[in-house]
Amino acid sequence: MPNGQLMTNEEVERCFQELGWRWLPGPRPGFWVLPVWNPEQNRGEMIIVDNGQGNPNFIGARLQIVRATRNEDCVRKALCLTNGTLDLVKLYMDEDRDVFARVVVPRFREMFHRQMLRHALGAVVAGAAFVLPILQSCLEDEHCDVEAALRRRLGGDPGVVP
């Protein structure tokens, strides 16, 4: 990575303003909550944006998808297979079994463009919407065939896979 200047919190907020976004302050400086519309789910979502908190070189955006209340092994397999399919979004499960989609963009001023942030938020919503039916299948059926669920989803099936 270049040894350039990193975006400050104020510059990130200015970027939000230039994009016409509304945001709420997060739990501490360098975190924000952005409400976005998810057209596939027909509902609002809350994306958490951090300025270098997960990795000092990147601005990260993450969206909670579901909580893996059961069938954790199936959910982990679905995340592994889907991560191998989606290039723009990283899917992961934290220690509380919450499943997230995460995207990062470079934090260096000379590499950053506000449209990168716009596309990152779109990618995190799209990635979460893509994997949600597969995860729902995992949560509903302990014998879920994750590979078949992914194949059907890639084939364009928007619904929950049996």
DSSP three-state, residue 25 = strand
Q: What is the pLDDT of residues 78-111, one digit of tens each?
A: 999 999 888 789 999 999 999 999 999 999 999 9
Q: What is the pLDDT of residue 2?
A: 55
- Asked whether the beta carbons of 130 and 149 are under 8 A apart, the reply is no
On whether residue 117 sits in a domain, the answer given is yes
For the domain that residue 93 is a member of, what is the CATH number?
3.30.1460.70
The backbone torsions φ and ψ at residue 120, rounded to the nearest 5 degrees and listed phi first, read -65, -45
- Of the pLDDT bands very low, low, confident and very high (cuts 50, 70, 90), residue 158 is low
Q: Beta strands of the chain (E only): which ranges?
A: 24-25, 31-38, 43-51, 58-67, 90-93, 98-106
On whether residue 47 sits in a domain, the answer given is yes
On whether residue 40 sits in a domain, the answer given is yes
On whether residue 82 sits in a domain, the answer given is no
CA dist., res. 95 & res. 155, Å (int): 32
- Of the pLDDT bands very low, low, confident and very high (cuts 50, 70, 90), residue 157 is low
- Of the pLDDT bands very low, low, confident and very high (cuts 50, 70, 90), residue 162 is very low
On whether residue 1 sits in a domain, the answer given is no
56 compared with 160, residue with greater pLDDT: 56
Total domains in the chain come to 1
Average of per-residue pLDDT values in the chain: 90
On whether residue 111 sits in a domain, the answer given is yes
On whether residue 157 sits in a domain, the answer given is no
Mean local confidence (pLDDT), 129-158: 87
Q: What is the pLDDT of residue 16?
A: 95
Reported as type and span, the H/E element at residue 130 is helix 114-140
The closest of 86, 52, 51 to 65, measured between CA atoms, is 86
Query: What share of the chain in percent tops pLDDT 70?
Result: 94
Question: What domain range includes position 116?
Answer: 9-67+89-132
Q: What is the pLDDT of residue 161?
A: 46
Q: What is the pLDDT of residues 16-45, one digit of tens each?
A: 999 999 999 998 999 999 998 877 778 889
On whether residue 106 sits in a domain, the answer given is yes
**DSSP 8-class letter at 96:** T
CA dist., res. 126 & res. 159, Å (int): 15
Q: What is the pLDDT of residue 3?
A: 65
